[in-house]
Amino acid sequence: MSDFSRFAINQITTPQLDLAAAVEAYARQGVRGIGVWNQYLEGLDLGQAARMIRDAGLFVPCLCTSAWVNLADRSAYEAALEENRRRLDAAHAIGATTLVMVPGGLATGEKDLPGARRRVEDALHALLPHARAAGVMLGLEPLHPMYAADRSCLNTFRHCLELVEELGVGSGIVADVYHCWWDPDFPIGLRAAGRDKILTFHLCDWLVPTRDVYQDRGMVGDGVIDFAFYRRLLDEIGYDGPFEIELFSKLDWWQRDAGETIRISLERCAPFVAPRLPAATAS
């Protein structure tokens, strides 16, 4: 029997389900964790949301995502920092260990990518004391370079790891194989990060062809990513944290019944998410 104690479904995988429905559906099929998105907390009492998740026996590897801080206007930038402090507090309230940092790319009309990255780095430093006080990690997630202009100017594992090493306690890496599988330095970066700096590991596949730049991620096993290789590598470095499937799939999985998506996610991810064997017995 498969052991899914480390496995979560990131809520965006089944966007038709509100938080209560997702919690019930995931738990009913044996999923052990839920990656929560901000929009599904709107209008809910956070204490009640936390109890709902806890009573279902689910852990929360992350809250997705941060507010963008790529704003050139100073007052808007300060407002974004305050919103991120609120989201850190929300993450703490629901038991999420990490706030996934997706900071935005270029500001409107801007072409200065190094300047945008400096603003993001400044914002991370500004948010770090609040993150530490809340007991929630700033999870830096490198996004594929195709997102650099509009969604995130943090685009390589190496860059994010350098920032985590600079920030120190209260920060870590959200490693998403979809965004990083192409990067020849990704395996090197995972080894350099080690078990302690990787907060959660996101799973989904790269389809060929990819029909939509933003929302055509594949179910594990339907694309070209070598998941077995990454699982072996993570075992080698001693990673024993969570795995999450995270599907943005407007052309396929978002159109299917959520129960089917959950069931197939469990089937496809089972070989890659079981507990790590002790070093002496791992093969």
Per-residue confidence (pLDDT) for residue 108, from 0 to 100 = 87
Spatial distance between the Cα atoms of 120 and 128, rounded to a whole number of angstroms:
12
Helix (H) or strand (E) holding 234: helix 227-236
pLDDT at residue 281 greater than cutoff 50: no
- Convert the pLDDT of each residue in 150-203 to its tens digit: 999 999 999 999 999 999 999 999 999 999 999 999 999 999 999 999 999 999
Spatial distance between the Cα atoms of 95 and 110, rounded to a whole number of angstroms:
37
How much is the average pLDDT of 99-114? Answer: 95
For the domain that residue 191 is a member of, what is the CATH number?
A: 3.20.20.150
Residue 280 domain flag: no
Per-residue confidence (pLDDT) for residue 279, from 0 to 100 = 63
Residue 281 domain flag: no
What secondary structure does DSSP assign to 147-159, as a single string? Answer: GTTTTBS---HHH
Tokens of 249: 């799939």
Spatial distance between the Cα atoms of 202 and 17, rounded to a whole number of angstroms:
20
Number of domains in the chain: 1
Residue 61 domain flag: yes
How sure is the predictor about 142, in pLDDT bands with cuts at 50, 70 and 90? very high
How sure is the predictor about 277, in pLDDT bands with cuts at 50, 70 and 90? confident
pTM of the model: 0.96
201 and 175 Cβ atoms separated by less than 8 Å: yes
Residue 1 domain flag: no
Residue 135 domain flag: yes
Residue 225 domain flag: yes
Residue 235 domain flag: yes
Residue-range definition of the domain harbouring residue 247: 7-273
Q: Which has the higher per-residue pLDDT, 124 or 1?
A: 124
Residue 279 domain flag: no
